[in-house]
Amino acid sequence: MRHSAAETALRNANRHRKAHLPAQLRAKLIAGPDIALDLERLRENESQSLLANLVALRHRLFASLDVAEEAGDSAMVARVARSPVAPWRLGYEGLPDFAMTAA
């Protein structure tokens, strides 16, 4: 039974790795880089970023509503109001706790 070139190359790479890499180095390569994360700080930063993006989005949507109202374009007003990302449609269930008190 013949093997494809890809299968043969994979077998050769595995054999080479087992022959030349110590077990500790193989385990470290499998585990990935050792990254120390401050998860609480990361959560707070991401929460603040999310809140800032929602505020910016709200400003853009209200600016669009103002333009539509000034132009008398009721269809555009309706489209902006029905936007799935409009803050009044998103609700607050996805926001972190501190975002609710930061108003």
- For 11-61, the pLDDT digits (tens) are 877 777 777 778 888 788 788 877 777 888 888 888 888 888 888 888 888
Residue 67 has pLDDT above 60, yes or no: yes
What pLDDT, on the 0 to 100 scale, is given for residue 71? 92
Of residues 55, 63, 47, 64, the one with CA closest to residue 87: 55
**Phi, psi (5° rounding) for residue 91?**
75, -175
How far is 88 from 58, CA to CA, in rounded Å? 9
Local confidence band at 100 (pLDDT 50, 70, 90 cut-offs):
very low
What pLDDT, on the 0 to 100 scale, is given for residue 95? 53
More confident residue, 30 or 102: 30
How far is 66 from 75, CA to CA, in rounded Å? 13
Residues 6 or more apart whose Cβ sits within 8 Å of residue 3: 11
How far is 38 from 49, CA to CA, in rounded Å? 17
